[in-house]
Amino acid sequence: MKSGRFWAWFVFLLGAAYFFIPLIATIEFSLRMRRGVYSFDAYKVVLGDSQFQATFMFSVIVAVFTILLGVLIVVPTAYWIRLRLPQLRPIVEFVTLLPLVIPAIVIVFGYIRMYGSNSPLPFLGSNLGANALLVIGYAALALPYMYRAVDTGLRTIDVRTLTEAAQILGAGWGTIIARVILPNVLIAVLSGAFLTFAIVIGEFTMASLLNRPAFGPYLQNLVANRAYEPAALSIIAFIITWGCMSLIQILSRFAPKSANRPN
């Protein structure tokens, strides 16, 4: 047992070293912009760059719309599958897993060929259409995570009783979903939302191939042309991902209390 604990520590510390050294190296590098002393110059330059602000804002807005679209598609579907069409569950689950099978680059390649400016549905003919297509593509990418999060949330509530109670009180389907089901699975929806945010905010492939002025392509361009700023941005990106994941963790602590009321 004693040697077991030694090996456990050994493996853990080895892993910790592999995961922390690149972070430390990046932080160290990001502080070296001013010759001879450590400074936050790189962060100042990056955060003050108007292009950073523009692309980052663009990606945040795209992420928000992606989350809205994802919720709009996933919540009613997962609810309906649980309530009325459990026989469709395998098909819907299979479809939600498709984005893990089809690489993002293939999906966006298909979009470019199908929705080009000469096609019957010319999404790519206008700026707004291309932005919409980017949101749609991200919603597709996030589908597996969003669906699983919402479905797990629905599992903890009694969908049938809630629905019947709401119907007796005279609620229509829209009211039931928006004012009864959604608040009850809000925590699950939020964790799906933060995961979506973490995926979307730095995404490169789709944004780049659809020629959108997003944060991912901006980062890519910066890596190719600058030295210290990308290091600062990598740290910022890591902190954003960290923030999203810790919010999910904090939320999941609240989940059982607010969602699972057996009585």
Residues 216-235 that bind another protein (CB under 8 A): 216, 219-220, 223-224, 230-231, 233-234
Q: Is 54 in the site for another protein (CB under 8 A)?
A: no
From CA 227, how far away is CA 29, in angstroms rounded?
9
CA dihedral 213, 214, 217, 222 (to 10 degrees): 90
Closest CA to 74 of 179, 178, 147: 147
Task: Determine if 238 is a binding residue for another protein (CB under 8 A).
Answer: yes
Interface stretch with another protein, choices 45-53, 180-188, 215-223, 255-263 (CB under 8 A): 215-223
Distance of closest approach, residue 215 Cβ to another protein, in angstroms: 9
114 near another protein, judged by CB under 8 A = yes
Tokens of 66: 């992606």
Q: Which stretch binds another protein (CB under 8 A): 12-20, 39-47, 59-67, 164-172?
A: 12-20
Q: Give exposure, 218-247, as e/b (b: 16+ Cβ within 10 Å).
A: bbeebeeebebbbbbbbbbbeebbeebeeb
> Is position 128 an interface residue for another protein (rule: CB under 8 A)?
no
Residues near another protein (CB under 8 A), total: 87
Q: What backbone torsions phi and psi does residue 57 show, to the nearest 5 degrees? A: -60, -45
DSSP assignment of 47-68: HH-HHHHHHHHHHHHHHHHHHH
Shortest CB 186 distance to another protein, Å: 20
Span near another protein by CB under 8 A; candidates 44-52, 58-66, 104-112, 182-190: 104-112
Question: What are the tokens at 195?
Answer: 């995961």
Using the rule CB under 8 A, is 74 a contact of another protein? yes
Give the shortest CB-141-to-another protein separation in angstroms.
10
**In the complex with another protein, which residue's Cβ is closer, 44 or 253?**
253
Helix axes 127-155, 104-114, angle to 10 degrees: 140
- Establish if 113 lies at the interface with another protein (CB under 8 A): yes
